[in-house]
Amino acid sequence: MLKREHFIKRLQEQLHVHAVAALLGPRQCGKTTLASLLAQGYPEPIHHFDLENPSDLLALSEPMRILERLKGLVIIDEVQRLPELFPILRVLVDRKQAHYLILGSASRDLIQNSSETLAGRIGYIELTPFQLREGCQATPLLVRGGFPRSYLADSERDSYLWRESYIQTFLERDIPSLGFQVPPLMLRRFWMMLAHVHGQLLNMSSLGSSLGVSGHSVRHYLDILAGTFMVRVMPPWFGNIQKRQVKTPKIYFRDSGILLTLLGLQSEEAMLRHPSLGAIWEGFALEQVIQTLDLRPEEAFFWRTSHGAELDLLTFQNGKAIGFEFKFADAPKTTKSMHQALMDLELEHLYVIYPGDREIPLADRITAVNLEKWVKSITA
């Protein structure tokens, strides 16, 4: 198991600044394990409540009576199951008797009242599945995804079977536990449809027509999957330039292992033969770059014009525009689109991320670089 020092450090920073730290991320990504690692070195008493444990849930049926006596660090796991805790935490926080680490399997937008009730008292951290920056190997991470039990499975077959079970449990148990009344079969069909448009512009009308539901329902399903960290809705960048720019978002799966499972791809060989290989690689590499740079959702964009010029990822570092293109190729080359993006967006540099070993200067301010080597250069 990886030690995940980066996330432990971020937790320690948040607990130093705030009375409450919220560790959010998809189920089975390692939140409870990380909390246990933090607790091992914590200098004060630890109190742990797991709201999926019936006895702990019962113990917190009168939360004020139980929690007001505790000092040290109070860990509350799967907090989304008891949203009425948040107003009580606000009262307890102001008494300054304890710090609170709350773990949740949904984004703050899906956890009721957390941001409003605890404003100024809570810091948020998103825990992802395993990443390249943590020392994982690129090919297994691409094929199996980063969920610990999938990545660390004894075989590709075991990994695939775990992911199949994860998807079923997610649809049949996790989504209803968040209060969403969506038929599991309908949400699975929608999720599988998204797998086939991964890396493409999001056409909600087309998706709605294919499913036989309204655009409002499509938006609702998408919000659920985005809010539970399954997909990323990538916003477009439209700057003040004299070109018509695309303003429709793109859709990406955040974990390549889940994507491959929904596509029915059980091995690296099957993936390499699949017509969506380029999009699979693009989404995987894009997610690794976003996580390595610690980009918030509002800091990562794609760019495209109506004339076909595009850039897979645009972000701003120290006020300078940095661009990324993701190519599954042995020897990537520059394109007219790259030069157009370099000029129109006034990029400081454009990195072409590819799986090859060599770093290749392709043109002035355009460099092709191996994904793993690029990650190591940033995290060194």
118 or 7, which is more confident? 7
The CATH number assigned to the domain holding 204 equals 1.10.10.10
- Domain identity same for 348 and 268: yes
Q: Is 116 found in the same domain as 162?
A: no
pTM: 0.94
Please check whether residues 58 and 161 belong to one and the same domain: no
* 287 and 146 within one domain: yes
* CA torsion angle 278 361 134 44 (round to 10): -130
Domain end among 64, 92, 126: 126
Mean pLDDT across 326-354: 95
Average the pLDDT over 336-355 and give the result. 95
The total of structural domains in the chain comes to 2
Check whether residue 223 and residue 338 sit in a common domain.
Answer: yes
The pLDDT value recorded for residue 241 is 65
- For 194-218, the pLDDT digits (tens) are 999 999 999 999 999 999 999 999 9
Same domain, 98 and 188: no
Tell me what the pLDDT averaged over the chain comes to: 93
| pLDDT digit string, tens, across residues 61-79 | 899 999 999 999 999 999 9
Kindly state the average pLDDT of the residues 303-317. 91
Domain match, 121 and 137 both: no
Q: What is the pLDDT of residue 240?
A: 66
Domain boundary among 126, 144, 165: 126
Sheet with 320-326, side-by-side order of all strands: 301-304, 310-317, 320-326, 349-354, 366-370, 360-363
148 and 52 together in one domain: no
Name the domain boundary from 126, 146, 161.
126
- 239 and 162, same structural domain? yes
Beta strands in the chain (DSSP E): 20-24, 46-50, 72-77, 98-104, 122-126, 231-234, 250-253, 301-304, 310-317, 320-326, 349-354, 360-363, 366-370
Give the pLDDT score at 309. 87
What is the pLDDT confidence band of residue 82, given thresholds at 50, 70 and 90?
A: confident
Q: How many CB atoms lie within 10 A of CB 124?
A: 17
Q: Are residues 183 and 264 in the same domain?
A: yes
Sign of CA dihedral 367, 341, 138, 293: positive
CA distance 31 to 123: 16
- Say yes or no: 119 and 257 in one domain: no
Query: With 70 as the cut, is the pLDDT of residue 15 above it?
Result: yes
Give residue 31's domain range. Answer: 5-126
